[in-house]
Amino acid sequence: MLLNHASIQTLHSFCLDLIRKYYYIVNVDPDFRLMDTIESTILRDEVIETLLEGEYAKSDNTPFFHLIESITDDRSDQNVIDIISRLYDFSRANPSPEKWLEQVTLLYKNDKLERIKDLPFYNLIHNDIRLSIERAIEFLQQGLDLTAISGGPESYRENFLEDITEIDKLRSKLNSDWSELQTAFQQVSFGRLKPLKNKEEVDERLLKQAKKKRDQAKKVIQDTLSDWFKRAEQDYIADLEKMKNDVETLINLVQKFSKAFFQEKEKSGVLDFNDLEHLALAILSDNGRPSHVAQELRNYYKEILIDEYQDTNLVQESILQQIVLPDEAKGNLFMVGDVKQSIYRFRLAEPTLFMEKYERYQLDGKDTVFEFEFS
């Protein structure tokens, strides 16, 4: 009988209703219109182009021209446009976009840096290397297991044992100086496979699988060597020093774009889905604490039931945390989701270090690392 009084809606619809009711708190036009994705893309492209044209028009804009020369070619500025857009999107996935952008520049302000291990994000590098070593050992262990199966290549058993011992030495060097760890990786070698005994008794399928596992282990070690240890430690540190000004200039461009993009949307009386989330959070949060509106909603909602929870991002999670009861034992939040469909997003103490193939995160200072591989 009371079902029609329940607020059954998407989270964006909830945000939309909240903004229309409390528009005066965030100073937006109550008659705003929600943009679709195509309209938003066209507008943001126009704003970025206008921003870059303005930067080119400045005669004494040396930092900007250095950035352009560093990351674009002679044909177009598409690289810098893409990077600005990606950084903007990533920052908007955080509850405090401006704070996140400012933290990025802090990662490059290391005037007294002498060792890679002194980097503020070295734990991410360390975890990447550690996981690579463990992955290689896991592949080798799987190959070793295949040699013990009936019909398996038993002659390769000694090879796998030697390889595991070799890679395990790397694990023992993880906490050594960078140069020592680098030398250990450079000295890794995989010996020739032993000749097969009783070849006619060996299952060809198991033989191929064993070779594949060893090749996978080799590739992991070779990729790690290529990613991290091809150059001297001081060269990497010098690169970071050279990048500092370019990163600061890039972040400044993202901040200018973010401001100009929102101003253009205000002029047109439109908002996008990102705006809905951040404006709703601004209404519900007062310097990080639940606002009076959030307190009213806490008293209003008896239960908060979230479906498809695996698709919520960090901003949406922050919105929910403002309106649920804070005591988890007596809380009123119930979530349903499918971990197999999860889009993993985590609250980071510092910005993520991006790599070509993987992303690593350390959560809350704990040695808990998540790995993501992209196709």
Q: What is the DSSP string of 70-118?
A: HH--SS-SHHHHHHHHHHHHHHHTSS-HHHHHHHHHHTT--TT--SGGG
Quick: pLDDT tens for 256-314: 999 999 999 999 999 999 999 999 999 999 988 999 999 999 999 999 999 988 888 88
In a domain, 291, yes or no: yes
Compute the distance between CA of residue 129 and CA of residue 231 in angstroms, rounded to an integer: 16
Q: Is residue 302 located within the same domain as residue 262?
A: no
Question: What are the pLDDT tens digits along the chain (375 aa)?
Answer: 888 888 899 999 999 999 999 999 999 998 999 999 899 999 999 999 999 999 999 989 999 999 999 888 778 888 999 999 999 999 998 999 999 999 888 888 766 778 888 888 889 999 999 999 999 999 999 999 999 999 999 999 999 999 999 999 999 999 999 999 999 999 999 999 999 888 888 899 999 999 999 999 999 999 999 999 999 898 888 888 888 899 999 999 999 999 999 999 999 999 999 999 999 999 999 988 999 999 999 999 999 999 988 888 889 999 999 999 988 788 899 999 887 765 544 444 444 443 333 344 444 444 444 444 443
Kindly state whether residues 2 and 22 are assigned to the same domain. yes
State the residue range of the domain holding 329. Answer: 1-32+273-343
Among 249, 268, 287, the domain-final residue is 268
**Do 332 and 264 fall within a single domain?**
no
Contact 285, 291 (CB under 8 A): yes
Q: Are residues 122 and 206 in the same domain?
A: yes
* Residue 133 and residue 228 share a domain: yes
Examine residue 111 and state whether it is found in any structural domain, yes or no.
Answer: no
Whether residue 93 contacts residue 315, with contact meaning beta carbons closer than 8 Å, is answered with: yes
Structure tokens belonging to residue 140: 């080798």
Number of separate domains in the chain: 3
Q: Are residues 181 and 133 in the same domain?
A: yes
Is residue 182 included in any domain, yes or no? yes
In a domain, 27, yes or no: yes
CATH of residue 78: 1.10.274.50
Asked, for residue 298, whether it belongs to a domain, the answer is yes
Residue 348 lies in a domain: no
**Contact present, 77 and 256 (Cβ < 8 Å):** no
Same domain? 138 vs 72:
no
Residue 284, domain CATH: 3.40.50.300
pLDDT digits (tens, 9 = 90+) for 62-73: 999 999 998 887
Alpha-carbon Rg for the chain, nearest whole angstrom, is 27
Q: Which of 20, 50, 95 lies closest to 264, judged by CA? A: 50
